[in-house]
């Protein structure tokens, strides 16, 4: 206490110093642009693919076997839904909002065959990748999460 008293005058004479944060600032200024450059702001996700059922690549027309083998064919102007024990249905892509019509048709199939989770998406050679992904999304939303891709003859 006495010692403090004796130093009192010299304490009063000292200038209060802030913490020197300039080196830390320099570090941050270098780090942040580097992280901003390498940061990924796009949410990239994936769609898992399945191999098509055995033999289906060769005889897509043969629908007499037991499983449903639900298939959505993407034609230039139509979506065609077909499968075993299913009436073939055709959706005109030139209509307004053909994806909703496809979703409704697939939802009806899922309601009629609740055990089926698979769908084959058959595309023509010139079908755009974007269209295939759209049909996969519609199928997944309709309750068919397991999609496989096939090429049309």
Partner 1 sequence: MARRRRKNRRKDGTTAPLRLTSMMDILTVLLLFLLKSFVVEGEVITPVPGVDLPESSSDAAPQASVVVAIFDNTVMLDGQMVTRLENGSSDDGLLIAPLADRLNQTRAKELEIAQLRGEDVDYSPKIAIQGDRDISFEVLERVMYTCNQSGFGDIALAVIGAS
In the complex, minimum distance from the CB of residue 27 to partner 1, in angstroms, rounded to a whole number? 9
Determine the Cα–Cα distance for residues 119 and 147; give it in Å rounded to an integer. 5
DSSP-based three-state secondary structure for 123: strand
98, 140, 143, 146: residue in contact with partner 1 (rule CB under 8 A): 140
CA atoms of 3 and 47, how far apart (whole Å): 75
Structural contact between residues 82 and 110, judged by C-beta atoms closer than 8 angstroms:
no
Please report, as residue ranges, which positions from 10 to 49 form the binding site for partner 1 (by CB under 8 A): 15, 18, 21-22, 24-25, 28-29, 31-32, 35-36, 39-49
- Give the span between the Cα atoms of 12 and 115, in whole angstroms: 85
Give the residue, chosen from 59, 77, 124, 153, that forms a contact with partner 1 under the rule CB under 8 A: 124
Instruction: State yes or no: residue 123 binds partner 1 (CB under 8 A).
Output: yes
SS3 label, residue 5:
helix
User: Exactly one of 72, 106, 110, 127 binds partner 1 (CB under 8 A); which one?
Assistant: 127
Piece in contact with partner 1 (CB under 8 A), picked from 4-12, 76-84, 110-118, 122-130: 122-130
């Amino acid at each position: 206490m006495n010692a403090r008293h004796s130093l009192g005058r010299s304490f009063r004479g000292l200038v209060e110093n802030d913490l020197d944060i300039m080196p830390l600032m320099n570090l941050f200024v270098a780090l942040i642009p580097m992280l901003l450059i390498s940061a990924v702001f796009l949410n990239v996700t994936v769609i898992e693919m399945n191999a098509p059922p055995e033999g289906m690549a060769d005889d897509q027309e043969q629908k007499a076997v037991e499983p449903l083998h639900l298939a959505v064919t993407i034609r230039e102007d139509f979506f065609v839904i077909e499968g075993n024990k299913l009436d073939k249905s055709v959706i005109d892509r030139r209509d307004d909002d053909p994806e909703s019509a496809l979703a409704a048709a697939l939802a009806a199939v899922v309601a009629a065959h609740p055990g089926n989770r698979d769908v084959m998406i058959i595309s023509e050679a010139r079908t755009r990748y974007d269209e295939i992904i759209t049909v996969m999304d519609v199928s997944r939303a309709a309750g068919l999460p397991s999609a496989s891709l096939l090429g049309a003859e």
